[in-house]
Amino acid sequence: MLDTITLTLGVIVGIFVGSTAGYLGSIMVSRRMALVGDALSHVALPGLALGILFNFNPFIGAFTFLAATVIVTWYLQKSTTLSVEAIIGVIFVLALSIGILITPKVDLLEALFGDISKITLVDTVLTVLVSLFVILVVKKIYEKLIISMISKELAVANRIKVESINLIYLLLVATIVAVGIKEVGTLLVGALVIVPAAAAKNISSTLSGYSLMSAIFGLMSAAAGVILSIYVNVPVGPLVVIVGTVIFAGSFAINSFSKRLKAKRVSSA
């Protein structure tokens, strides 16, 4: 059973990582890059393993590998005809294989699915600061990102440096994935980016509502996952994903119901 302090720290980390990942995810899901977010998270495993093996903060190892992957992907996408999905797909399987080979067996489960009991005050402070930094930077580039998503041509004509904005965005995703790994694990942290945003998309009709709902659903999934882990003796990661998926199913049902209702109104009018 977790003590109150560890649980509180876990919930704080969940709130910040969940809401930030959800907010970032709203952009990723709309860019039809959902699988990129998921695959990217697995790339952190070798960095995490090096941190465990050589006794340094695994966040630094994970972030280094994630950032390097983002930069290599960004460069290859710019200079070849390969899609982001294809490039990350190749790097992801390689990183996962190397990560599984070099991660000590006793730490593998924790690396893959996270362990809330290991979260320290330093981790929590780091997570809060990093999350706030990520949100501030996204807010700064948000309009440019959205315009470049709507039309690259329009963005370029409006003097938006589309490639640079994309690189900054992917580095921010890498950052939040790296801080989320300790709680949710490398295998499932990608779900924090994708599932809340996918759920929010089902029931959003405005951009402001969509990004807000994505952040709220991310927060709810992560915080609820942590609290649930007190009652069931399983890692937080799978619980976060299950809560997120339940929210997704709920939003999907609401969307289908409202569509049917609209169709009924139209046919009876």
Residues at the site binding another protein, with contacts judged by CB under 8 A: 30, 32, 143, 146-147, 149-154, 156-158, 201, 204-210
The residue among 127, 254, 105, 142 whose CA lies nearest residue 183 is 127
Based on CB atoms, which residue is closest to another protein, 4 or 81?
Answer: 81
Structure tokens that stand for 6 in this block:
């560890």
Q: Cβ 112 to another protein, closest distance in Å?
A: 32
The residue among 23, 190, 30, 181 whose CA lies nearest residue 113 is 181
Based on CB atoms, which residue is closest to another protein, 65 or 210?
Answer: 210
Based on CB atoms, which residue is closest to another protein, 104 or 209?
Answer: 209
Terminal CA-CA length for the chain: 58
Based on CB atoms, which residue is closest to another protein, 133 or 142?
Answer: 142
Q: Cβ 259 to another protein, closest distance in Å?
A: 13
- Look up residue 173 and give its amino acid: V
Q: Cβ 212 to another protein, closest distance in Å?
A: 12
Structure tokens that stand for 251 in this block:
């939003």
Nearest-angstrom CA–CA distance, 15 and 9: 10
Based on CB atoms, which residue is closest to another protein, 87 or 147?
Answer: 147
Assess contact for 31 and 77: CB atoms under 8 A. no
Q: Cβ 211 to another protein, closest distance in Å?
A: 10
Q: Which residues contact 129 (CB under 8 A, 6 or more apart)?
A: none
Q: Cβ 84 to another protein, closest distance in Å?
A: 15
